[in-house]
Amino acid sequence: MPVEELLIDADGHILEPPDLWEKYLEPKYRDRAIRIKVGDDGREYLEIDNHPAKLTSSTLLASLGGMKKLQELGATVEDVNAQRRELLKSRAGEKRGVFASLEGVETVDNYVSGAAFGAMDMKERLQLLDTEGMAKSVLYPTIGLLWEAEVFDADLSAAYCRAYNRWIADFCRDSGRRLVPIAHISLGDPAAAARELERAAKDGCKGAFVCPFTITRKPHGHPDHDVVFAAAQDLGIPLAIHPTLEPPQFSALQRFEGMDWADWYFDLFAAVGVPQAFGTMFQYGVFDRFPRLRTAVLESGAGWIGYWLDRGDAIYRRTALGGTVQLKERPSYYFKRQCFISGDPDERSIAGLTKIIGEDRFFWASDYPHPDHPGDYLDELRGMVEGMSSSARRGVLGENVARAYNLL
């Protein structure tokens, strides 16, 4: 990227220290802390509320910071994939758990040694930003995307969130505002979530995110969550929806049996819950009730938003189904007024969408250091912005996220 362009990663990740929750949880909950332990087989596993995680395998845990490690495989990636295909042929039908992730490609055997440069250390992350010519990176969690699918105690979920939020604010505090902390809140207890949103914002968090499901099964747009929307609106910070692991009983990905081995398939559709959650905010009229609320849709791709808004407008305007939508205007009106979406650097449809939906609605994101995205994101980013107007290019590269999160 040219040095004069503001470059901000709208969705980077940090690997939390294994003892974060033991140190930052209130004493009342500390004996139920999230931990990383070593099993009888010598491999690490994630422990949540004193139970081994069911949805996070040891292989996945060790690979969470492995984006650059996969990049280092270089030209051998095709060979590794060929080996995986042969391995899977020999194990057809064997049940191994969702997101076995990178079996046959393991280059590390534990969570910490698998962390790429800058994945756990603030000073290293700043060095990485300097090397890549980035001004800032907006930071989301890693273990924080795993545990919520296995916790159905609203009080404990809120406590886990508070602990992480205190830690991420501390982690970013001395970064010269180049590392941007984002709070994690759970909708299990909306009133507690609103209180935590206010506390975290005062502590330096520039936004917040929720996962694509709720343990109460209430839709995200439900009026019971208005206290959270009101807090975000009054604080002037965006509320994002970010994909996470989801309880199998809630997930559309569990409709087929016998696909536990299909990592490609699960990763391809890992974010389908995000537009579903986002859609409830239109259905329930959130954007009329909260006209100053800013919302971001993250790590779900961005190319689908063109079809989604066209379809949503058509149903709203020209069918009787639209009468159920609690909005005064068509959905695209609110999206263009209040919403943002991040695209992957390897998406090539975004230039066209900026002309239709708006130059000011799109971000880009690296997902660094997670291994389910390629590590050559800066090279791919050049292709993403090719063909854009100069104003759209500047917006996507950094100005839009800076404006949305008040980072200028």
Q: What is the chain's pLDDT, residue by residue, as a tens digit (408 residues)?
A: 554 589 999 999 999 999 999 999 999 999 999 999 999 999 999 999 999 999 999 989 998 988 766 566 555 666 666 776 777 666 554 544 434 444 445 555 799 988 999 999 999 999 999 999 999 999 999 999 999 999 999 999 999 999 999 999 999 999 999 999 999 999 999 999 999 999 999 999 999 999 999 999 999 999 999 999 999 999 999 999 999 999 988 887 778 888 877 878 887 888 899 999 999 999 999 999 999 999 999 999 999 999 999 999 999 999 999 899 989 999 999 999 999 999 999 999 999 999 999 999 999 999 999 987 888 899 999 999 999 999 999 999 999 999 999 998
In a domain, 1, yes or no: no
The domain that holds 176 is classified in CATH as 3.20.20.140
Q: What is the pLDDT of residue 108?
A: 57
**Domain extent at residue 136:** 8-16+116-404
Entry pTM: 0.92
In a domain, 35, yes or no: no
Q: What is the pLDDT of residue 74?
A: 58
Between CA 157 and CA 171 the distance in angstroms is 21
In a domain, 52, yes or no: no
In a domain, 260, yes or no: yes
For residue 206, the 8-state DSSP code is -
Question: Measuring CA to CA, which residue among 181, 139, 180, 141 is closest to residue 160?
Answer: 141
In a domain, 282, yes or no: yes
Q: What is the pLDDT of residue 13?
A: 97
* Contacts with 177 (C-beta within 8 Å, 6 or more apart), sequence order: 136, 407
Number of domains composing the chain:
1
Tokens of 324: 């159920």
Question: Measuring CA to CA, which residue among 365, 349, 356 is closest to residue 400?
Answer: 365
In a domain, 162, yes or no: yes
In a domain, 373, yes or no: yes
In a domain, 244, yes or no: yes
Q: What is the DSSP string of 132-185?
A: HT-SEEEEE-SGGGTGGGG---HHHHHHHHHHHHHHHHHHHTTSTT-EEEEEE-
Tokens of 157: 């979920």
Distances (CA, A) of 256 to 64, 104, 259, 341: 26, 24, 7, 29
- Count CB atoms within 10 A of the CB of residue 127: 13
